[in-house]
Amino acid sequence: MNFRGRKPLTMARVFQFSTQSGRSIPNATPALDASRPLAPIAATLAGIGLPDAGEGRGHAWGFSPESLVARAGQELGPGDIGLRIEPNLRTERLYEVLAFFPGRPDLPAQVNGRPWRSNGPPYPNVVIFRPFQSFTPRNFRDLVEKLSAPGAYVTGLRYEARYLPFDSDTLLDEVLPDHPQTDAPGGITVSGSRSRGQRLTAARDGGSVFRHEVFSAYRRSDNGRVECAACDLDDERVLEAAHVIDHGYAQDAWWNGIPLCRNHHRWFDLGVLRLEPATRAWVSPHGLAALRVTKTNLSVEARSPHPQALDWRWLNVAGPE
Ligand SMILES: [Zn+2]
């Protein structure tokens, strides 16, 4: 399948990348075992429309021009999921692409705080990942062969970066738990507050992993379906995971999200559609009927966002003046 521009998150690509061969070994630990502040490249991220990404943390990794995931027309893009091959053919972490920068070998040094180690050609094509997500360690080859159609994945002697023959939903369904293992935490950490009335500059969803967590939390046990929390739509192709506390201000966890159809997500982001924290009831100055809201509140949902998250949104995201 050929993707151009922004991909539907349900069909994000999965790629493997190695930290076992030659030149990647000395770069693996500083680049991938710990996330680092993205502040040094905040201006670069803002320049591609990610103004708040520079406040977060991430990883920077370089790919050679020959890499299959960096070739013209096949470059990695936001939302793609990297499956890292670790020593002894183990895999246990997912890396979600935040941005891809061809021809910017300076970026890894800025993020990782040290030069990119390379004794051969430079690695000019740079991926910025969000902090990784862990899962129970698996044998890489067993996992990939289990998820691929028979014969679709051929292992080689060297495990170089390439796309895998299944999409992110297939992978996440396999490695992440179906339902959150614990309830919402007692207290949550929010890193700031928006000025009242400020409009969202980048109303982004949090990518495949966040979507998976939120949908798993809200999936109905009786029919296995996920519905928009404001209307009856249950087609996952038009459902999205909406942040309650804006992306970048708190953890991308299920308790900070609700499933919404695209229309209700947009109205929610704009502050036109709001959730009253005490009652978890939908409210809108336009009236709920005008926005085609068919559910009065979240009480029919199996789960609910964290009360502190609802409070934060109520205080920080006002409707249009
Ligand atoms: Zn809806």
182 within domain boundaries: no
Q: How far is the CA of 232 from the centre of ligand 1 (A)?
A: 7
pLDDT tens digit sequence for 230-266: 999 999 989 999 999 987 777 888 899 999 999 999 9
Q: Quick one: 137 and 39 in the same domain?
A: yes
Q: How far is the CA of 260 from the centre of ligand 1 (A)?
A: 5
Q: Quick one: 285 and 140 in the same domain?
A: no
Q: What burial letters (b/e) apply to 21-42, b meaning 16+ CB within 10 Å?
A: eeebeebbebbbeebbebebbb
Q: How far is the CA of 17 from the centre of ligand 1 (A)?
A: 38
pLDDT band at 55 (very low <50, low <70, confident <90, very high): confident
pLDDT tens digit sequence for 94-132: 999 999 999 999 999 999 998 888 777 678 999 999 888
Q: Quick one: 157 and 220 in the same domain?
A: no
Which pair of tokens denotes residue 180?
């959150």
pLDDT band at 227 (very low <50, low <70, confident <90, very high): very high
What pLDDT, on the 0 to 100 scale, is given for residue 9? Answer: 45
d(C-alpha 127, C-alpha 64), whole Å: 11
d(C-alpha 255, C-alpha 320), whole Å: 26
What pLDDT, on the 0 to 100 scale, is given for residue 1? Answer: 27
**Cβ(184)–Cβ(306) under 8 Å?**
yes
Domain count of the fold of the chain: 2
Q: How far is the CA of 239 from the centre of ligand 1 (A)?
A: 8
189 within domain boundaries: no
Q: How far is the CA of 265 from the centre of ligand 1 (A)?
A: 8
pLDDT tens digit sequence for 128-162: 998 888 888 999 999 999 999 998 998 876 788 99
Q: Quick one: 257 and 306 in the same domain?
A: yes
**Cβ(173)–Cβ(210) under 8 Å?**
no
39 within domain boundaries: yes
Which pair of tokens denotes residue 120?
């051969």
What pLDDT, on the 0 to 100 scale, is given for residue 193? Answer: 60
Q: Quick one: 159 and 19 in the same domain?
A: yes
For residue 118, the enclosing domain spans 10-167
**What average pLDDT does the structure give for the chain?**
84
Last residue of a domain, one of 167, 188, 216: 167
Q: How far is the CA of 291 from the centre of ligand 1 (A)?
A: 9
Q: How far is the CA of 142 from the centre of ligand 1 (A)?
A: 39
Whether residue 308 is predicted with pLDDT greater than 60 in this model: the reply is yes
pLDDT tens digit sequence for 180-212: 545 666 777 776 665 433 333 333 555 788 898
Closest to 80 (Cα-Cα) out of 11, 153, 32, 165: 11
Q: How far is the CA of 67 from the centre of ligand 1 (A)?
A: 41
Q: Quick one: 236 and 300 in the same domain?
A: yes
Q: Quick one: 212 and 162 in the same domain?
A: no
CATH number at residue 111: 3.10.590
Q: Quick one: 14 and 158 in the same domain?
A: yes
